[in-house]
Amino acid sequence: MTTPTKVAALVGPGDHIGYEGQWRTVKSTRTDIGAMGGLFVVVAWEEGGTERFRAGDELLVGAPPATA
């Protein structure tokens, strides 16, 4: 069984991303250019905070685990 992934450049609002041991929901995205000219995606989380990923990074996507 393969783990579902999505390239950072294709992530959008509402996507659920497994990151740093927890599921986070994408609130918004924007692009940014790195110091060496590389393309980055800046993700703002519904849960607060932001993270910057290289556009080609593969991110774990899926549904967050159900809470009881």
| Contact by Cβ (8 Å): 14, 62 | no
Residue whose tokens read 């294709």? 10
Residue 47's region, left for phi above 0, alpha for psi from -120 to 50, else beta, is: alpha
pLDDT in tens, 45-55: 999 999 999 99
pLDDT of residue 65: 66
Read off the pLDDT of residues 31-42 as tens digits, 9 standing for 90 and up. 999 889 999 999
- The pair of structure tokens assigned to 25 is 């929901």
pLDDT at 15 (0 to 100): 94
Residue 39, CA atoms < 13 Å, CB-side half-sphere = 10
**Tens-place pLDDT, residues 9-30:** 999 999 999 988 889 999 999 9
